[in-house]
Structure 1
Amino acid sequence: MYNTQHNSYIATITMKLSLKISPLIKLLPFLCLVACASIPSPTANWHVDAVSLYDSGHDKGTEIIGVQQTTLRAVLSNFDTGEVDVLDVSKPTHLKRTARFNLGLTKGEELTSVAFHPTLDVFAAVIDAGNSPGRLEMRSASTGAVLDRLTVGFGPDAVVFSGDGSVLMIANEGEDFLFEPLNKQFFSPEGSISLVRLSKTGHINSHKNLELADVINHQTIVINQGGRFMEREIDWNGDGKISKKIDFNGDGVIDKKKVLLGYFEGRDVFGTETSGEKKILIPVKTHSPALLEPEYIAISPDASKAYVTLQEDDAVAVVDLRTEQVISYYGLGASQHKTDSHYDGWVKFDQALTGLREPDGITTVADGRYFVTADEGDTDSDSASLADNQPTSGGRSVSVFDAATGTLLGDTGNQLDETAFANKIYPERRSSKKGSEPEMLVAVELDGIPHVAVGMERAGAVELISLADPRHPKVVALGKIAGDENKSPEGIAHFEVAGEHYVITANEMSGTVECFKISRHRAE
C-alpha cells in the first residue's frame, strides 16, 4: 500500500428519434488526433485536484466505495478477492487502510457491493451467488464479524442506505443466464428490489422483495423495435467454466463466424467462436420481465421514495417506500447531440448521435426535487438496426429529470467527451462504442449550488458538473486519475473534512483508490 501526490488535469421522452445513424462503423488504423469541436469555455471557478492514491496491493477488483461522514472511514469492496478494506480518509492526502476483512466466499460467489451505515459501526455487503438467490450481510466495521444476514433476490448488484440509516435497499439485477440444451433455450431469473428496514442497532427488522411489473403499457416508455443485444457470459456447454474461445458448431475450426446457439423468448441467440462463452449475444426484447434488471438506487433525502435504474430498458422504476410498492416507471428517452462516432484516427465531434440513455448510476439533488443519471449504455446495436434508424446505446451524457414527473429537464450533450479531449484523455478507440462512458455519480453541494461528480470509466477521470441551471447542466472541471494503465473508475463517494470537499473513486482495473479535492480556482 502506498500514497502519492500528483498534479491533476484541468480543463421527452417524446422526442422524435429520427436522426440518421451511420450504418456501419469502420475500425481503421490510428492516424492522428484532430479536434473539430467547440471546447467548453474555461470559465468555471472550481478545480478537481487529485491529492492521493491508495494501492490495495491487488492488480484489480477495487469496485465500490462508501464513506461514513461521521467517522471519516470508508469501506471498499474487491470483487476479485472477496475482501473489504476499511480506510481512514480523515487525512485525504494520506489514505490509510485500518482493516481488511475476507468475507469467506465460496466458489461461484462474488462480492458485488458495499455501503457504510451513516452512523453505526456497521457496513452492508451483498453477495451474488450465481444461479441461486444472493444474500445481504450486515458486518461490524471494526471486527468484520457478521451481525445479521438475509437471503435476497437473484444477482444483487448494489446496496444503498437511506440518509438516516433506517432503510437499506438492494438492486437485484438477475443478469445471469442459463442454457437448457435439450430445448436450446436460454433463460434468466427476473430482477427485483429488496427493501430492508433496520433497527437502531443495524439489525434487520423486516424485508420485502419488490417484483417489477410489465412496463410496456406505461406511456413514457419508448418501444424499441429490435436490433439490440446484450453481451453475456453464459456456460453454454455446461462444463462449469466460461471459455473465451469455443468451437460452437463442432467443425474443428474456431474463427470469427457467428453461430446460432439457441433461443431466448422466441428470438435467435448467436455466439462468435473467437469470443466464446464470454460474449454470447442475447437479443433485447424491450420490457421482457427477464430483462428488467435493476442497476443502481437513489433514495430521496426524506426516505419517502427511491429511484431505480433499469439500464437495459432505458427506464427508472419509482418506489414508494411508505407503501413499499413500485408505483411508476419513467422512460428516459434518448440524448441527441453531436459526437465523434468513428474510430478512424480523427476526433471530430460533428456526427449526429441519437443514443438511448441507458443509465448506470443515479443520484438525487436539490432536496430530492431532481434525479440525475449517468448515461453509460449497456446494449449494442447490430447493423440492421442502424439501417432502420434505431437509436444506439448510451447517451454519453449526464441527464437531469424532475423527480415528481420524470420529465427531462436537460443533459450535458457532448460536454463529457469534449472535456476529456481538451484534457488529452479522450479514449478515441471507444468512439464507435460509448465514448468516455459516464459510470457512477454522486451529489455535491458547493456554495449552495447542486453539483454532481461523475466517474468516466474509459477516460479514467472525474468530471464535475454544475446544476445551477438544471436545464443546462455544465461541466466545470476535470480531475485525472494517476497512471497510464487501465483504471476504470466504478464506485464514487463524496465527503468533507474541515469544510473542504473531496470525492473518492474505486478504480476496478488498477486496484487503486483516488482521492480528489474540489477547490475554487485561484486567479493568476
Structure 2
Amino acid sequence: MKKLSISLLAALLILASCNNDENNGEPEVTVNENPGTFKEIGSITIGGEAAAEISAYCEKTKRLFTVNNSGVNQIDVIDITDPTKPAKIGKIDLASYEGAANSVSVFDGKLAVALESTTNKQGNGKVVVFNTSDYSLIKQVTVGALPDMITFSPDGKYIMTANEGEPNTDYSQDPNGTISIIETSTYAVTTLDFSSFASQAATLAKDGFRISKFAKSFAQDIEPEYITISDDSKTAWVTLQENNGVAKVDLTSKTITAIYPLGLKDFNTADNAIDVSDLDDKIAFNPWKVKGLYMPDAISHFSANNVPYFVTANEGDAREYNAYTDIKRMKSVKLDATAFPDANLKLDANLGRLNLVTDMGDTDGDGDLDELVSFGARSFSIWNGNTGKIVYDSKNDLDKKSNELGLYDDKRSDDKGSEPEAVYVAKMGSQNILFVGLERSDAFLTYDVTNPTSPQFLQIVKTGDAPEGLLFIPASKSPTKRSLLVVSSEGDGTVKIYQPDLK
C-alpha cells in the first residue's frame, strides 16, 4: 500500500483523540511497517523498584504519564516529542489524595488515576482525573476497594476500574471484589459485586473456577485484576486472577452478565512440557503429571471475522496472608499412593520444589492429593469473547523462546516460569499483532494473531527488569508518525520505547 502524504498524516493527527487504552477500533495510518522488527529507540530511568509500573500516553501533549511508587507517591510526566530522547518534565504529587497509584489511563486530554487507600487498604479507593496539559484536578470519585487497574472505554464515555478487594493479613477485613463503572459525562459511579453469582458456585467450580476454602463469602473471594473493553464500548471482559476466571460486563446495562471458568491446563504432554525445579542446575522442559490454573493477569481483545476474542497473560497468583496461605511445596504435601506411586517424585530435582495450590487436588476428599495443581499456565491464551471457550494456547512457547535467547530464569522454574504478566493486541495495517510481556524473563514477544486459532511467532526482545506494563501507540497518534511500543518495568524503574522497521 502507498504511504499517506505528510499533510494527510498531520490532519489525521489533529483529528485523533488522546485515547491510548485498548484502542483497537481506531482507523490506522498506513506506514507499511514490519511488526516483527521492533527495536529499542529510547529509554529513561525514573527511579528504582516500583518506579515504572504502568504508563499512559496523551497524544495532545506528547507525554507519558507513569506510575512511580519507588519511595514516592506520584505520577511522573515524560515528554516523548522525540521518543529517542524521553525526558522527565514534571510530576503529579498524589500525597494529598490519601491514596497510592496502581494504574493510569488517558483519553482526550484527561488522565485517570486509580488510587488504593493509604489509610485503610481494605477501604474504598478513588479515581482522580487530571488535565494532561497543566495537571490540574478535574474530578475525584469513590470506587471499590483496592482499584488495581483503570481504563477509559474507546469512546471515552466510561472509566472502569477492577477493584481487587484483597483481605488484610488476618482476614478480619475482606471487602468484596468489585468493578466500578464511571460515566464521564456526570462522573456518576456504579460499583458492581459478584454476590448474584454465589448460587452458581458449585457449577462454576466443576469447570475450574476457584473459590478459596477460607473465604467467608463468594463475593468477598472474587478478586478482579484487569479490564479490556470492546471497540464499540459496549462490552468489557475482566480477569478474576486468583479465581481462575473472566467476567463479562454489559456496559449499556451496567451488569455482569457472565463468569467464564477457565479450567486447567495439562502439563503432561510434550507440547506443554515445563521445567519444574530451581535446584536441578539445568533447564529441562519435560512433561509432568501436573495441571495448571490459568489465573490470568492482563487481558486484551481483538476481533476476527466479526467474532470477538480476548487474550490472557496466564501469570498465576497465590494468596499469602498470616491467617491463610494457599501455596505449598510439592514435597511437603501428602500424595495419593495410587495416583503417585513413585516416591522419587518428591526429590528437589523432580517435582519436590514445585509450588502447588493447597486447597485443590483432593478429588475424593480423603485428605491426600489425587492430582497436582500449580499456579499459572506459563502461556498466553486466546478465548472466544462470546462463549469464553479457549481457541488457542501458546503451550510452552514463552519459556522455550526465552531460553533460546538466554533469558529464561531457572530460579523461577518452581514457581511460574517466565511469568507472562502483560498482553496487548494492536492493529498494524491489516494484521492483529499481540505483544506479551514476561516479568521474570525480562522480555516481550510479538505474535501475529490475525488468525486466532493459529498465531505466528514474530520476535522476542529484551526489556528492562520485570516488565509490568505494555502500551502501544499507533502511528496515527505517535509523535514520529510510526508505531511505538512503550514498556514500563517495575524492577529497575525504566521506561523503554521500541519502534519497528519499515517494510
User: Please, what TM-score do these two structures have when normalized by structure 1?
Assistant: 0.73
Q: Distance in 2 between matches of 1:104 and 1:198?
A: 24
Q: Report the counterpart of residue 489 of structure 1 in structure 2.
A: 467
Q: Distance in 1 between matches of 2:199 and 2:410?
A: 36
* Counterpart amino acid of residue 165 in structure 1: G
Q: Structure 1 residues 207 and 347, CA, compared in 2 at 3 Å: closer, same or farther? A: same
Q: Structure 1 residues 458 and 438, CA, compared in 2 at 3 Å: closer, same or farther? A: same
Contact kept? 2:78, 2:88, Cα under 8 Å: yes
Q: Structure 1 residues 54 and 222, CA, compared in 2 at 3 Å: closer, same or farther? A: farther
Pairing partner for 1:455 from 427, 430, 437:
437
Number of aligned residue pairs: give it.
408
Pairing partner for 2:163 from 162, 167, 172:
172
Q: List aligned pairs for 1:116-515, cutoff 5 A.
A: 116-117=106-107, 119=108, 121-129=109-117, 130-177=121-168, 179=170, 186-199=172-185, 204-213=186-195, 214=197, 217=200, 219=203, 221-222=205-206, 264-265=214-215, 288-336=218-266, 337-343=272-278, 344-352=280-288, 353-366=290-303, 369-379=308-318, 381-382=327-328, 383=330, 384=333, 385=358, 387-482=369-464, 487-495=465-473, 496=475, 497=478, 498-515=480-497
Q: Distance in 2 between matches of 1:215 and 1:69?
A: 43
Q: Structure 1 residues 220 and 47, CA, compared in 2 at 3 Å: closer, same or farther? A: farther
What is the Cα deviation at residue 304 of structure 1?
0.7
What is the Cα deviation at residue 68 of structure 1?
2.8
Can you list the C-alpha shifts for 1:231-275, whole angstroms capped at 9, x where unaligned? Answer: xxxxxxxxxxxxxxxxxxxxxxxxxxxxxxxx9448xxxxxxxxx
What is the Cα deviation at residue 58 of structure 1?
4.3
Q: Are 1:66 and 2:56 matched, yes or no?
A: yes
What is the Cα deviation at residue 499 of structure 1?
4.7
Q: Structure 1 residues 225 and 56, CA, compared in 2 at 3 Å: closer, same or farther? A: closer
Q: Distance in 1 between matches of 2:456 and 2:281?
A: 28
What is the Cα deviation at residue 308 of structure 1?
0.5
Q: Distance in 1 between matches of 2:97 and 2:398?
A: 40
* Counterpart amino acid of residue 432 in structure 1: D
Can you list the C-alpha shifts for 1:295-325, whole angstroms capped at 9, x where unaligned? Answer: 0000101011100000011101110011110
Contact kept? 1:64, 1:77, Cα under 8 Å: yes
Q: Report the counterpart of residue 260 of structure 1 in structure 2.
A: none
Q: Distance in 2 between matches of 1:448 and 1:490?
A: 27
Q: Distance in 2 between matches of 1:123 and 1:506?
A: 17
Q: Structure 1 residues 435 and 474, CA, compared in 2 at 3 Å: closer, same or farther? A: farther
Q: Report the counterpart of residue 232 of structure 1 in structure 2.
A: none
Give SS of 2:417's match: coil
Contact kept? 2:301, 2:308, Cα under 8 Å: yes
Give SS of 2:38's match: strand
Q: Report the counterpart of residue 54 of structure 1 in structure 2.
A: 44
Q: Distance in 1 between matches of 2:454 and 2:151?
A: 28
Identity %: 28
* Counterpart amino acid of residue 379 in structure 2: S
User: Please, what TM-score do these two structures have when normalized by structure 2?
Assistant: 0.76
Pairing partner for 1:104 from 75, 91, 95:
95
What is the Cα deviation at residue 69 of structure 1?
4.0
* Counterpart amino acid of residue 390 in structure 1: L
Can you list the C-alpha shifts for 1:25-72, whole angstroms capped at 9, x where unaligned? Answer: xxxxxxxxxxxxxxxxxxx97123222211114454211111234553
* Counterpart amino acid of residue 462 in structure 1: F
What is the Cα deviation at residue 402 of structure 1?
0.8
Give SS of 1:376's match: coil
What is the Cα deviation at residue 472 of structure 1?
2.7
Give SS of 1:340's match: coil
Q: Structure 1 residues 164 and 98, CA, compared in 2 at 3 Å: closer, same or farther? A: farther
Q: Report the counterpart of residue 17 of structure 2 in structure 1.
A: none
Q: Structure 1 residues 45 and 494, CA, compared in 2 at 3 Å: closer, same or farther? A: closer
What is the Cα deviation at residue 216 of structure 1?
6.1
Q: Structure 1 residues 265 and 58, CA, compared in 2 at 3 Å: closer, same or farther? A: closer
Q: Structure 1 residues 225 and 388, CA, compared in 2 at 3 Å: closer, same or farther? A: farther
What is the Cα deviation at residue 518 of structure 1?
2.9
Give SS of 2:483's match: strand
Contact kept? 2:298, 2:313, Cα under 8 Å: yes
Contact kept? 1:67, 1:494, Cα under 8 Å: no
Give SS of 1:505's match: strand
Can you list the C-alpha shifts for 1:270-293, whole angstroms capped at 9, x where unaligned? Answer: xxxxxxxxxxxxxxxxx8322201
Can you list the C-alpha shifts for 1:199-225, whole angstroms capped at 9, x where unaligned? Answer: 2xxxx4321111113356275554669
Question: 5+ residue gaps in structure 1?
Answer: 1-43, 180-184, 230-262, 267-286
Q: Which has the higher helix share?
A: 2
Contact kept? 2:122, 2:173, Cα under 8 Å: no
65-74 vs 406-415, which moves further: 65-74
Contact kept? 1:63, 1:507, Cα under 8 Å: yes
Q: Report the counterpart of residue 20 of structure 1 in structure 2.
A: none
Question: 5+ residue gaps in structure 2?
Answer: 1-33, 267-271, 319-325, 334-357, 362-368
Q: Structure 1 residues 225 and 311, CA, compared in 2 at 3 Å: closer, same or farther? A: closer
Give SS of 1:217's match: helix
